[in-house]
A and B are shown apart, each in its own frame.
Chain A
């Protein structure tokens, strides 16, 4: 294992140096000083989650089980790692470009795997932090914890991603060894989607438990009804239980065994990873980096047919975007995960036979004045969650020289990318319209607002994503996940969208009070103007920025 550190060092430099430079806009180390400023931007999100945990703690305290909040937070953190980790680990282990340099070196498979997994883990802390850190802070402040709480909390947080990521890694190792998926990469879509859906179902059960505020009666009912489920999840994610025992208020003597068990589980997981990697990693890699030739015969007439169709530059650029995303399973899954999983994670359970919305006549809100606004808000939120626009330039990676040497204006390329991201917002529109029909909200007025507002919010959020990516594209990725999940542009785009939301909400309130009859059309016009204005800005920025990127 003596090569793990140099390997990890190189991987981290490769992954993070580019990220830091993009954030700070400079190669100087003083640029690092800007990072705390960036972290400040996420304070509102942390405050919101912290308040939710405070409510949950108070509610659970009434029933003498406040530590259950820790179990849920640790479980949520680990599940998030597992769900997002599977594809990430697959991508980093098997599809990253540095493999061709690493494999010929005299390295043990376990050394490569452990180094790569550690690099992934550092990224996963960012995924986990908003779910776990506020809970640890809330419990530490509100409960009567002992002196070991802070060191234990810190160590548990640091070790928390290990077990789920090792599970993801072992799954990937077995999958690739058995199916040799590298030759049939498209199968990844099926497997990835299936795993995502299955795990999403698990998450929604645990999240349902958290969604229901602080109403004591409701919590009592949920505890009674869901306790077996929570226990079931806890049994499955046994590290959450040990972590909770380690952190639980009371005598330190009770905490130490829990902590030791937690640490032992992490060590055992790492040992399993080393064993698994030694046996399976290289076997899964066999098959080479290239795909096989199709073997199709190229005749003169076929060639003539295929070259006969002339497209406009915009249509050609759009088609390129479609091909590049659709044919890369990592990109495609990241793009469709919201519209694909949303109905499973949120809508179906909420409205299911025993869901919290059961018995509530939502249809009676169909004609309320704010219902179409809520529809627009939902569409805006879903479209804002898309990573398609905020990674549109980043996805080009090392091929970006092609775009830069094309004799077409960068703004045209940006508009093609915008059209492409609009296609995905249509999926969100379909989900929302389906949900409206399900809940009985699909009145002509609401539908009209959704059909006009869907593309509008899609275009608006598309431009905000593109705005961020135009300013700071992540072009130096070595595996596709770095361009999508490892790309913090999606987080920055969410912040920009938060600003757009606040501005639009302000205008909406003013419109409602000052020109109520023209409220809805007025709101749509405001969205259209915002989109048009932002589109102009992003286009002009692209013309300015494209020549400045240096690869």
Chain B
């Protein structure tokens, strides 16, 4: 579902390599956790997957579509939540959701049903007629999540989706993530909360200084390491 083949990305005219020859495949029905220290290249990788950054070299495919040469087809496969919930602050929450639904061709019945359900889950229904600049950070995060998830595409790409969410909403989001992959769909997400990754993910990859330093199931990662938990493995690997 998501394939990255020898992908590299540099900033500052090649002076800083953010992602270095990264290859990765995320399969349908899989929850894939993407971990790494700050500045390791997680967000750069995610932005390349969703087409917000162009790789300097290598190929990124989503649902079989090349993100660079078939951008629209690829975007139709993806629901994306960025690491900071920046949305048009002069619109009301519902205006924003309607805008996304219109542009993505979601029918009236589907959008009503999905908005109602997701807004109830994230407990934001009462604020949908308010302008987004009156929302707290957490409410904006919920709105961005609803806008992404209501499209219901086969691939979810979430960049630190739990940040700013209250415990109840974070719990509901985790349930939605599991529900999504039950239908043979794909979830790729980054997080710093290792307990969440440990509990949810079928496989995880750890990136450090632009390179994948470990990738596999938790059992596979444990091999050759002294630690048992994902946290201890992470600390061990990223110290090297």
Q: What residue in chain A is nearest B129 (Cβ atoms)?
A: A296
Q: Which of B68, B76, B126, B130 contacts A407 (CB 8 A)?
A: B76
Q: How far is the CB of A39 from chain B (nearest CB, A)?
A: 26
CB–CB B95/A323 < 8 A: yes
Task: For A307, give its contact among B52, B68, B72, B108 (CB under 8 Å).
Answer: B108
Interface size on A, residues (CB 8 A): 46
Contact B51 A296 (CB under 8 A): no
* CB-contact partner of A327 in B12, B90, B103, under 8 A: B90
Nearest CB in chain B to that of A413: its residue = B103
CA distance A304 to B108 in the complex (A): 9
Nearest chain A CB to B102 CB, angstrom units: 3
Give complex CA distance A324, B132 in Å: 12
**A551 CB contacts on chain B under 8 angstroms:** 52
What separation, in Å, do the CA atoms of A286 and B91 have in the docked complex? Answer: 23
The contact string, 1 if C-beta is below 8 Å from chain B, for chain A 373-411, is 000000000000000000000000011011011111100
Chain B 95-135 interface residues, beta-carbon cutoff 8 Å to A? 95, 97-105, 107-108, 111-112, 115-116, 125-131, 133-135
User: Are B130 and A293 in touch, CB under 8 angstroms?
Assistant: yes
The answer, yes or no, to whether B53 is at the interface (CB within 8 Å) is yes
Using a Cβ–Cβ cut-off of 8 Å, how many residues does chain B contribute to the interface with A?
A: 47
A290 adjacent to B88 (CB under 8 Å): no
Contact of B112 among A290, A296, A308 (CB under 8 A): A308
A-side contacts of B200, CB under 8 Å = none
Q: In the assembled complex, which residues on chain A have CB atoms less than 8 Å from the CB atom of B236?
A: none
**B8 shortest CB reach to chain A, Å:** 15
B115 touches A303 (CB 8 A): yes
Chain B residue numbers with a CB within 8 Å of A309 are 98, 108
Q: Shortest CB–CB separation between residue A462 and chain B, in angstroms?
A: 21
For residue A306, CB closer than 8 A to chain B, the reply is yes
Nearest chain B CB to A405's CB is how many angstroms away? Answer: 5
Q: Are A291 and B125 in contact (CB under 8 A)?
A: no
Pick out which of these stretches binds chain A: B79-87, B161-169, B172-180: B79-87
Contact B13 A27 (CB under 8 A): yes
State whether the Cβ of A547 lies closer than 8 Å to any Cβ in chain B: yes
Tell me if B94 is interfacial: C-beta within 8 Å of chain A: yes
Question: Do A407 and B72 have beta carbons less than 8 Å apart?
Answer: yes
- Bound-state CA distance A307–B150 (Å) is 13
A306, B126: Cα distance in complex, Å: 14
Given contacts A316-B103, A408-B103, contact A306 B50 (CB under 8 A): no
Q: Across the two chains, which residue of chain A brings its CB closest to B144?
A: A402
Could you show 6 A-B contacts with beta carbons less than 8 Å apart?
Answer: A27-B12, A294-B129, A306-B129, A307-B98, A310-B108, A547-B71
Q: Which residues of A come within 8 Å of B, CB atoms?
A: 27-28, 289-294, 296-298, 300, 302-304, 306-313, 315-317, 319-320, 323-324, 327-328, 398-399, 401-402, 404-409, 547-548, 550-551
7 more A-B contacts (CB under 8 A) besides A291-B134, A307-B115, A311-B98? Answer: A28-B13, A310-B102, A323-B90, A399-B88, A401-B82, A547-B54, A547-B71
